[in-house]
Chains A and B, each alone.
Chain A
Amino acid sequence: MSYEVALPILVPLFAGALSLLCWRSRWMQRVIAVAGTGALLAISIWLLMTVNREGYVIMQMGDWKAPFGISLVADLLGAIMVVLTGIIGFAVALYSLAVTGRGHENFGYYPLMHLLLAGVAGAFLTGDIFNLYVWFEVMLLASFALLTLGGERAQMEGAIKYVTLNLLSSVIFLTAVGLLYGMVGTLNMADIAYKLSLVEETAMIDVLAMMFMVSFGIKAGAFPLFFWLPASYHTPPVAVSALFAGLLTKVGVYALFRVFTLIFNQSPGYTHEILLWGAGLTMLSGVLGAAAHFEFRRILSFHIVSQIGYMIMGLALFTPLAVAGGVFYILHHIIVKTNLFLVSGIVNRLKGTYDLKKLGGVYKEHPWLSFLFLIPALSLAGVPPLSGFLAKLVIIRASIEAERYGITFVALLVGLLTLYSMTKIWAEVFWKAPPELGEGEKAPKVPPLARHQRWLLMLPATGLAACTVLIGIYGQLIYDLSVASAAQLLDPQAYIQAVLGVQP
């Protein structure tokens, strides 16, 4: 019995419960936060190694046989995503030790963080479509509470939009699950895939596919459903936005990957064409939105949207190379985007503002921090030899091989515009001289940074930057992993067989 497939869900839940029980002691909560996320990281690496060695790792919860019980299934994509969850969770937990105030800690910051991680890991590992809905909701409830932590006006406004649109997405998802159950009478994704391949009337399947696409599209922040994202991601405490930026939209992307490779692969000419157009428009609208802004975190939020486009593009092209590129892109993006948010938080902690116009001269004072920004920023734009270059290379090459030159052009253009945005931040925040204070203006007051706090802030950012560089250097390793994972994704028969045992 391979317990490592359930442990990435149980460990954060357990840590969350313990953390909730110790809510009176800040010190205990902090210890549990670091230990819990560290354990999650270790277990997820163990899981990835097992999956890489043995193929699918499956556990039937409560010993109820598939397709009647809930199966937990880890394939390569799921395992990779869980490892990323572990990395991001650990980095953000360390970072939170330095930036989370007493008020937030008393309000339950750490238990909610563990709950969020459990929800994310659960969504990546479940093999049951209703269970996926449940994990989505666990994740959303935790994120709602984290988003409103502190209760400032901007947070309330952002939260209302976030809550409404994400709930709408959940309702569409639930409706689609209900209709799907009405059609095939099962909830196990492998069983659904098998039974849907026997259904002859494909019109209804396409309707369902569209409902899933809209629902996951909202969660992923795809065009034209992304408006909640830039309206809310820049409002919460920075550790929270880093966690959200890295993981939440990617759960939507993962769900798209899972559903549109395993279940709705009957008419790619129809569904995947729509996805491709969506991907192109997502990239463009995201990057253009970012170009118009002068607030650190708002620019980064818009870039989440534009980068989501690349991942969906990988899925939409639906060739082995393209899907591998999509997986590679997710892998690179989660690390880089979290890192950028962490750096924006450090800048804010040092200077007291996120406004590009009021910032300046950071390079002179903190050269190491500037370097830490430069690595993920250039990687995001796709400058060799960093991780973003390889990810973009694979996807663009796949699009040329598929002879979809339109999307190739869009992807290249968006890469260029990303570089423009990143250069803008670099020039405004790090390079230019600090702006002169106007009449009656005062520089925002920031409390002095203790030495251990400085370490806690810099360490996660440095670690993630190192990951980016390493992915660039050991690109072949990650590329092979992505190709293997794409091969698994494009072979639903193997998945069905692995989950259900013998062919029914």
Chain B
Amino acid sequence: MEPLMAIAIGIAYATAIYMMLRRSIVKLVIGILLISNAANLLVFTAAGLKRGAPPLIPEGASAPIGDVADPLPQALVLTAIVIAFGVLTFSVVLIRRAYLIVKADDLDQMKDTDT
């Protein structure tokens, strides 16, 4: 399972970087969305995959029984998803407003502040 995930994550990163290198701002935001999801998957995979063993404590016990999945990466990914969600909301609002002002979906026309 891990090699498959690794390949999938690699493809996601590559696609995201390709998207971020385009001139269109919409594609830039899609790239940002994709790369943060790729990073989440990577955190999840790097910590080890385990199927069908949720880290839940059965009734009456004080610790999970047997070999269970590590709950920490799941918590990390959840936090990272929340953050990515917030950032994405912000970037969508940002490009919407930028579009209203600049009237172009093209990063090459946004060079006024460059040096």
**Co-complex (A, B):** yes
Q: List residues of A whose CB falls within 8 A of some B CB.
A: 130, 133-134, 137, 140-141, 144-145, 148, 151-154, 156-161, 163-164, 167-168, 171, 174-175, 177-179, 181-182, 185, 187, 230-232, 234-235, 289, 292-293, 298
How long is the Cα–Cα vector from A140 to B110 in the complex, in angstroms?
22
How long is the Cα–Cα vector from A250 to B102 in the complex, in angstroms?
32
Find the A residue at minimum CB distance from B32. Answer: A167
Within 8 A of A (CB), among B59-112: 70, 72-73, 76, 79-80, 83, 86-87, 90-91, 94-95, 97-98, 101-102, 107, 110-112
Chain B residues positioned under 8 Å from A154 (CB to CB): 112-113
The reply to whether A160 and B39 form a contact with Cβ atoms under 8 Å apart is no
The reply to whether A156 and B97 form a contact with Cβ atoms under 8 Å apart is yes
Q: How far is the CB of B102 from chain A (nearest CB, A)?
A: 7
Chain B residues positioned under 8 Å from A168 (CB to CB): 20, 35
The reply to whether A137 and B39 form a contact with Cβ atoms under 8 Å apart is no
- Is B30 on the interface with A (CB-CB < 8 A)? no
Interface of A is mostly: helix
Known: A140-B87, A144-B90, A156-B98. 7 other contacts (CB 8 A): A153-B112, A159-B94, A160-B94, A174-B39, A177-B76, A182-B46, A298-B115
Chain A residues positioned under 8 Å from B101 (CB to CB): 151-153, 156
The reply to whether A144 and B115 form a contact with Cβ atoms under 8 Å apart is no
Residue from B28, B76, B115 in contact with A164 in the complex, judged by beta carbons closer than 8 Å: B28
How long is the Cα–Cα vector from A174 to B32 in the complex, in angstroms?
14
Chain A residues positioned under 8 Å from B91 (CB to CB): 163, 167
Chain A residues positioned under 8 Å from B40 (CB to CB): 174
How long is the Cα–Cα vector from A187 to B43 in the complex, in angstroms?
12
Chain A residues positioned under 8 Å from B44 (CB to CB): 178
The reply to whether A151 and B97 form a contact with Cβ atoms under 8 Å apart is yes
How long is the Cα–Cα vector from A167 to B90 in the complex, in angstroms?
12
The reply to whether A231 and B39 form a contact with Cβ atoms under 8 Å apart is no
How long is the Cα–Cα vector from A167 to B48 in the complex, in angstroms?
26
Find the B residue at minimum CB distance from A230. Answer: B115
Interface 1/0 per residue, B35-59 and A, CB below 8 Å: 1100110111011100000000000
The reply to whether A167 and B87 form a contact with Cβ atoms under 8 Å apart is yes
> Could you tell me how many residues of chain B have their Cβ less than 8 Å away from some Cβ of chain A?
38
The reply to whether A182 and B47 form a contact with Cβ atoms under 8 Å apart is yes
Chain B residues positioned under 8 Å from A161 (CB to CB): 113
The reply to whether A160 and B32 form a contact with Cβ atoms under 8 Å apart is no
How long is the Cα–Cα vector from A235 to B114 in the complex, in angstroms?
11
The reply to whether A178 and B86 form a contact with Cβ atoms under 8 Å apart is no
Chain A residues positioned under 8 Å from B48 (CB to CB): 182
The reply to whether B39 and A157 form a contact with Cβ atoms under 8 Å apart is no
Known contacts: A130-B76, A148-B97, A153-B102. The answer to whether A181 contacts B46 by CB under 8 A is yes
Find the B residue at minimum CB distance from A152. Answer: B101
Find the B residue at minimum CB distance from A154. Answer: B113
How long is the Cα–Cα vector from A292 to B114 in the complex, in angstroms?
13
Chain A residues positioned under 8 Å from B42 (CB to CB): 175, 178-179
The reply to whether A181 and B43 form a contact with Cβ atoms under 8 Å apart is yes
How long is the Cα–Cα vector from A167 to B17 in the complex, in angstroms?
12
The reply to whether B113 and A141 form a contact with Cβ atoms under 8 Å apart is no
The reply to whether B25 and A160 form a contact with Cβ atoms under 8 Å apart is yes
Q: List 21 A-B contacts (CB under 8 A).
A: A134-B83, A140-B87, A148-B94, A151-B101, A153-B101, A153-B102, A154-B112, A156-B102, A157-B111, A159-B94, A160-B95, A160-B110, A167-B87, A174-B40, A174-B80, A175-B43, A178-B42, A178-B43, A178-B44, A232-B113, A289-B115
Most buried by B among A174, A181, A182, A185: A174
Chain A residues positioned under 8 Å from B113 (CB to CB): 154, 157-158, 161, 231-232, 234-235
Q: How far is the CB of B110 from chain A (nearest CB, A)?
A: 4
Find the B residue at minimum CB distance from A147. Answer: B94
The reply to whether B46 and A179 form a contact with Cβ atoms under 8 Å apart is yes
How long is the Cα–Cα vector from A220 to B43 in the complex, in angstroms?
24
Chain A residues positioned under 8 Å from B110 (CB to CB): 156-157, 160
Chain B residues positioned under 8 Å from A187 (CB to CB): 72, 76
